[in-house]
A and B are shown apart, each in its own frame.
Chain A
Amino acid sequence: MATVLLDGVGAVGIRAARQLVDTPGLDSLLIAARGFSYADDVAASLGARAEAIELRPEDPVPTGVDAIATALPAALVADRATRALAAGVPFASTVDDADAIDTLLELDEPARNAGVLLAAGCGLAPGLADVLARHAADGLDAVDEIHVARAGSAGPASTAAVRRSRREPAAEWCDGEWSEERHPTPELVWFPDPVGARECVPVTVGVALLVRAFPGVRRATVRLAEPLSRRLTWPGRRGVDEGWGSARVEVWGWRGQARESMVYGVIDRTAIAAGTVLAVTAARLAGIAPGLAARDGPSAGTHGLAALVEPVPFLAELARRGVKAAVFEGVAVA
């Protein structure tokens, strides 16, 4: 039995809370939010295993917590991770902001020294997309290119992070070096329906996690689509796909002498997908999901999900909870 602390119950956090209380082996879910009364309302709606707590930023982690899951705006994540590190409690965050992920990566060495795992990017992308990249890579002998694209955001903080990422210069990993594109060129990406084709621009967020998880990769890129509310859409389309999010992962590599590609995708309500990924990751960190075997690899430090989880049981658990990935079966063109 385990106790998980969930910090933040916005669009993503509230979905994660629901998934966590439905997880066998969870003894108690502690919920912290900016307003205690709201956290209390959420806890009351989740049943006896959920409990709201007042937790100010300067407060230490309550005793008995086995894992911390956060679904907070980027500016708050570093402090929460530092607090988790001080308490020696594993930490998972949905953060999808490049600077915040860099800050978490700076905590890698202290986390290794303390023997604590910090899971950065446990949402749709970075997050589930990284797991799909690992799943594709496991089907190949060697991987040399990984291209991730995401459409959709979950809540105002996520939408703001997407817009900020799209405005900033993009960094991509190219031939073993970082390359910056000050004026990145948009590219059409075909997501599963109903999202369909979206113009995506290269961004920095999530690339570093891929490069760390796949040390031999020659090229890694992440692209984001413009959130719908500011995008010109055809009449009638907005109502159809608003709220949907999708990730598409294209991995190129070698199987024997043949160069091959594998394309995986996922489509769901963005907040539901991100919340479910966060909850399953927190369950794995708390040790209450015995089926989610840890990948042979790091037991401490800051990592993305591609380095932390075995993709097959992780994807099966997500599918059991309703978040289903798909494989593109078609003719790929290099």
Chain B
Amino acid sequence: MKALRRGLIVAVIAVLVGGFVKLRGKGGVPPTSGGWRELDGPDFR
């Protein structure tokens, strides 16, 4: 039981540290609306 509790604590800490490391960068600008459109004929005239 004690080992299980320790394991859970370690897992929680790992998730928190991982999340912090992952999120430490500056956020870019998320494309919340719109999307990518391939350039085709009319764009090349």
Chain B nearest Cβ from A323, distance in angstroms: 11
Whether B37 lies near A329 (C-beta < 8 A) is yes
Nearest chain B CB to A109 CB, angstrom units: 36
Q: Does A1 contact B (CB under 8 A)?
A: no
Selected from A189, A265, A319, the residue in CB contact (under 8 A) with B28 is: A189
Is B20 at the interface (CB under 8 A from chain A)? no
> Is B32 touching A331 in the complex (CB atoms < 8 A)?
yes
Find chain B residues with CB under 8 A from A312 CB: 43-45
Stretch of A62-70, A180-188, A276-284, A300-308 lying at the B interface: A180-188
A240 interfacial by beta-carbon distance below 8 Å: no
The residue from B25, B30, B38, B44 contacting A185, defined by CB atoms under 8 A apart: B25
A326 contacts the other chain (CB 8 A) = yes
Contact of A199 among B25, B34, B43, B45 (CB under 8 A): B25
Contact B44–A187 (Cβ < 8 Å): no
B36's nearest neighbour on chain A, judged by CB, is: A326
**B20-45, CB < 8 A from A:** 24-40, 43-45
The size class of the interface chain A forms with chain B is: 20 to 34
Is the C-beta of A258 less than 8 angstroms from some C-beta in chain B?
A: no
Partner pick for A330 among B27, B34, B44, CB 8 A cutoff: B34
Interface residues of A in 160-191 (CB under 8 A from B): 185-190
CA distance A332 to B33 in the complex (A): 9
Query: Residues on B close to A: CB < 8 A?
Result: 24-40, 43-45
In the assembled complex, 25 residue pairs joining A and B whose CB atoms fall closer than 8 Å, in A order, are: A186-B24, A186-B25, A187-B28, A188-B26, A188-B30, A190-B29, A193-B36, A312-B44, A313-B44, A315-B39, A315-B44, A316-B44, A319-B40, A326-B36, A326-B39, A327-B37, A327-B39, A328-B34, A328-B36, A329-B34, A329-B36, A329-B37, A330-B32, A330-B33, A331-B32
